[in-house]
Amino acid sequence: MKKILTIVLGIFTLGTTTTISAQTDAPSTIQHVSVMYDLNTLSPKYGDNSYFNGVGAGYTIDFRVSNTIPLYVGTGLNIRGVFDKDKIAINNEEDLVNMDVKSTLVNLNLPINVSYRVPVADNFYLTPQLGLDFRVQVYGQSKLDLNSDFPELNKLVSQDSKVNLFSKNDLGDNRLRRFQMGWHAGLNFEYSRVNLGLSYGTDFVKIHKNVGGSNFLVSLGYTF
């Protein structure tokens, strides 16, 4: 995280030395469409971290807000799905019970970005950005698959194998929150309208009072 922040701040500084050329090479609006990989980390207050691999797609639009420097403010919308599969083994000293837990989260994200588009060479730009993220979880479910030597227990679990991660009826006070808010720092590499983005962020409005969240995004997109 510190390395990403250092790079972002360094490029902002670099941008002040390229102001003259940037003035003539900065459109009034910049739009991106992209697909992304999302490494999502849940960090409970007690226990080990959980890692979710995910994918997503999104759109952003940035508006130039200065006549003298290529400074932009932007927003957009993206949808991401993250997935996890755990195996739980319960040994009661006589029989071993194996349980597979498959979890899926789908969320909508609204970023608010401040960015600075730095021309480096012909058709090549670096764009560091800082911003806020507003996230709504639209779907969250865990599915339990039990494999034991007790047919009645297997049948009982299979009848009620799906858990709504946001339901008070299913999880009580352990249910997850629908809304999160956080921050991110990122860096976008653009060459001939094709762009590669790297971003890291954490939540300060958490998915659960005892569970923090962070994510590392890698995106590939097109600028128009």
Distance (Å, rounded) from C-alpha 9 to C-alpha 30?
A: 21
Does residue 14 surpass a pLDDT of 80? Answer: no
Token digits of residue 12: 């902002």
> Mean pLDDT across the stretch 213-217?
95
| pLDDT above 60 (res 18) | no
CATH, residue 37: 2.40.160.20
Is 80 exceeded by the pLDDT of residue 16? no
> Would the pLDDT of 169 be above 80?
yes
Query: Dihedrals φ, ψ of 196, to 5°?
Result: -120, 125
Confidence of residue 190 (pLDDT cuts 50, 70, 90): very high
Mean pLDDT across the stretch 117-124?
94
pLDDT at 90: 62
**Average pLDDT for 140-146:** 84
Number of domains in the chain: 1
On the question of pLDDT at 224 being above 50, the answer is: yes
- The pLDDT score that the predictor gives to residue 87 is 74
Per-residue b/e over 152-187, b at no fewer than 16 CB within 10 Å? Answer: eeeeebeeeeebebbeeeeeeeebbbeebebebbbb
The string of pLDDT tens digits covering residues 64-103 is 999 999 999 999 999 999 998 887 666 655 556 677 888 9
Q: How confident is the model at residue 19 (pLDDT cuts 50, 70, 90)?
A: very low
Comparing 53 with 19, the larger pLDDT belongs to 53
Confidence of residue 26 (pLDDT cuts 50, 70, 90): confident
Pairing of strands 124-147, 162-164: antiparallel
Give the H/E segment covering residue 32.
strand 29-44
- State the residue range of the domain holding 22: 2-223
* Predicted local distance difference test score (pLDDT) of residue 162: 86
- Percent of the chain with pLDDT strictly greater than 90: 61
Q: At residue 4, does pLDDT exceed 60? A: no
Q: What is the mean pLDDT of the chain?
A: 85
Average pLDDT over residues 34-48: 92
Helix (H, G, I), strand (E, B), or coil: what is residue 97? strand
